[in-house]
Amino acid sequence: MGSSTKHLLLGFTVAALLPFVGLAEHDGSSQHDGSSQHDDQTHGKAPSKDTTVDFGVLPLAPLGPAPCLQTGAIGGPADPCAFMLHHLTPEETTIAKGGQVTFQVHGGGHGITMWSVSKDTTRDKIGQVLCPGTDPNTITNPALHNCNLSTTNANGAHIIADGDGEVVVVVSANVTNAHPDNRVWFEPGRLMSAGGQQFLNGGTIPAGATSNGQLITYRFLKNGRYLVMCMNRTHSLNDWMFGFVNVVGGDD
Ligand SMILES: [Cu+2]
């Protein structure tokens, strides 16, 4: 076979494959069905290069009227309103590929861990397998939070699947109450974790220009959607302490 014939055949093969390559890139995954593009949670958001996310909240005053604690360990593990502190701000963040997110820790008892999920993964999809019911971040009356301070739910097993139905995180039951059982700890596919064994330091000044909480940075080199969770079982499994980072721009 002459070299010109080889080139001709190679060119034909590449051309024949292109439509399939294009489809896979368009959907973000070759496994997606036709509806996934419509549900892409990463669309329509303007990316910045680098950004910051506040991880948790430092309480300085009672979190609400009684039964929220009015004195003592406000926001601590015995405060029925502590769930109000367990969220990321913002919950959804979008950066350009290659950009860095700096997570600043506020308040106590946090650890950070992260996995990649499909682009159509919604907050509700994840939250309903952690604690079924209303998103705790929208609840102001602690009596309406289905899993509030529930050790049964926090210590139970939870299997987290993404929007495509792929299992992303298998949270084992907390049997020993020692590392790694006592945290959300699942290594397959995990991109990072910080705060195992010893929780992160939330500093003494609330979120703002002078805040002094511990900083955790991660530079996102691949497009996609990333699930960022607290490793504290009570925070994430009871109170939905998780958020998403969307990485867009450039090639997938
Ligand atoms: Cu936490």
Q: Convert 22-57 into a string of H (helix), E (strand) and C (coil).
A: HHHHHHCCCCCCCCCCCCCCCCCCCCECCEEEEECC
Q: How far does the centroid of ligand 1 lie from the alpha carbon of residue 238, in Å?
A: 11
Distance, CA 160 to ligand 1 centroid (Å)? 18
What pLDDT is stored for residue 48 in this prediction?
A: 82
The length of the chain in residues reads 252
Residue 37: the pLDDT is 56
Q: Dig out the tokens for 43 from the structure.
A: 């669309």
| Ligand 1: centre distance to CA 8 (Å) | 59
Query: What's the whole-number mean pLDDT along residues 144-162?
Result: 98
Ligand 1 centroid distance, CA of 87 (Å): 8
How high is the pLDDT of residue 140?
94
Instruction: Based on the fold, state whether residues 58 and 167 are members of the same structural domain.
Output: yes
Q: Are residues 9 and 62 in the same domain?
A: no
List, in order, residues 6 or more apart from 10 with CB less than 8 Å away.
none
Ligand 1 centroid from CA 93, angstroms:
18
CA distances from 59 to 121, 135, 200, 214, 236 (A): 31, 21, 16, 16, 18
Q: 206 alpha carbon to ligand 1 midpoint, in Å?
A: 15
Number of domains in the chain: 2
> What residues contact residue 53 under an 8 Å CB cut-off, 6+ apart?
88, 89, 90, 93, 101, 102, 103, 104, 228, 243, 245
pLDDT of residue 6: 42
Do 16 and 96 have their domain in common?
Answer: no
Å from CA of 37 to ligand 1 middle? 32
CA of 234 to the centre of ligand 1 (A): 8
Would you say residue 122 has pLDDT above 80?
Answer: yes
Same domain, 25 and 111: no
Lowest mean pLDDT among 43-47, 73-77, 123-127: 43-47
- Please check whether residues 14 and 65 belong to one and the same domain: no
- Output the pLDDT for position 39: 83
pLDDT tens digits for range 217-227: 999 999 999 99
Which range has the worst mean pLDDT, 29-43, 65-79, 130-144, 193-207? 29-43
Residues 22 and 65 in one domain: no
Same domain, 10 and 54: no
CATH number for the domain spanning 110: value is 2.60.40.420
Q: How far apart are CA 155 and CA 182, in angstroms?
A: 8
Q: Are residues 164 and 188 in the same domain?
A: yes
Same domain for 3 and 67: no
pLDDT band (50, 70, 90) for residue 38: low
Number of H helices, E strands in the chain: 4, 11
What range defines the domain where residue 13 resides? 1-30
State CA 62 to chain mean position distance: 27
46 plus 122 within the same structural domain? yes
- Rounded to the nearest angstrom, the distance between the alpha carbon of 164 and the centre of ligand 1 is 26
Percent of the chain with pLDDT over 70: 85
Does one domain contain both 26 and 43?
A: no
- The rounded distance, in Å, linking the Cα atoms of 67 and 82 is 11
Band of residue 180 on the pLDDT scale cut at 50, 70, 90: very high
Could you tell me if 60 and 135 lie in one domain?
yes
Per the prediction, the chain carries an average pLDDT of 88
Q: Cα of 115 to ligand 1 centre, how many Å? A: 16
Distance in Å, CA 233 to ligand 1 centroid: 8
Amino acid at 201: N
pLDDT for 162 equals 98
Range 163-168 average pLDDT:
98
